[in-house]
Amino acid sequence: MARFGVILVAAGQSSRFRDANYKKPFAPLAGRPVWLHSAEKFTDRDDVKQVVVVVAPEDREAFLEKFGASLAFMGITLAEGGAERADSVKNGLEKLAPEIDIVAIHDAARPCLATEWIDRVFAAGAKTGAAILATPVVSTLKRVGPDHVIRETVDRTGLWEAQTPQVFSRSLLERAFAAAAGRPATDEAGLIEALGHPVTVVPGSPINLKITSREDLRLAEQALKALPKPKLSGPAHPFAGDDIWR
């Protein structure tokens, strides 16, 4: 059986979230922080041997104070983020145990994830070395200038919107980071593509939304209700209550 490690990225600045109290991964969603909903999708899986949560250095102390019990209970490792997303993922990668051979990177701000989608992208990643969840673009696309005037209508044929998890052979991912040499990338699949390695697209779902604005929290709360409920076992979870992170 492949040994998966999951890097949960929660180190962004949440500039578009526009909330004075929370960054989006730590905002309350159905009574728990967004990041915890995401983490739980992986910690109960037999094929996941390690989960690493990456937070910004300035958030580390407060994160440990609020969620240290949850990290210990769930066996989650903490890593500090870097200046760019790629730096954060690389820092998380360095925290993975040597026996991990397949790495899944997931946005902490995507809490509405179903087990069947994870199963599919994990299987594809283990088979091909590189796979991501994505959905085909269905809306008409417009290229707009800085004056907010449409410049052109973009052909959407063959266009897909990338999601996470993105799943890669560990050795391939490490090689991609080494070859990137600081080159910016908006996701890890872009680094793999730059190596010339094919990346398999696994159909995801619009329900697997990424929380960007406060309004997205309301959508996510409804989406969570449509997902299969996780099976709970063992002692009660140490995290409870409404004081999530002020």
Question: What confidence tens digit (pLDDT) does each residue in 87-98 have?
Answer: 999 999 999 999
In the predicted model, what is the mean pLDDT of the chain? 88
pLDDT tens digit string along 115-125?
A: 999 999 999 99
pLDDT (0 to 100) of residue 233: 43
Confidence bin at 21 (pLDDT 50/70/90) = low
Please tell me the predicted confidence (pLDDT) of residue 212. 86
**Do 85 and 189 form a contact (C-beta atoms < 8 A)?**
no
User: Stretch 4-33: mean pLDDT, rounded?
Assistant: 77
| Nearest-10 crossing angle of helices 170-180, 85-94 | 140
Each residue's pLDDT tens digit, 179-201: 987 777 889 999 999 999 999 99
Tell if the pTM clears 0.85, that is, is over it. Answer: yes
- The answer on pLDDT for 234 being more than 80 is no
Residue 86: is its pLDDT beyond 70? yes
Q: What is the pLDDT of residue 128?
A: 97
DSSP E strands: which ranges in the chain?
4-10, 28-29, 32-33, 48-55, 76-80, 102-107, 130-136, 141-144, 150-154, 160-169, 200-203
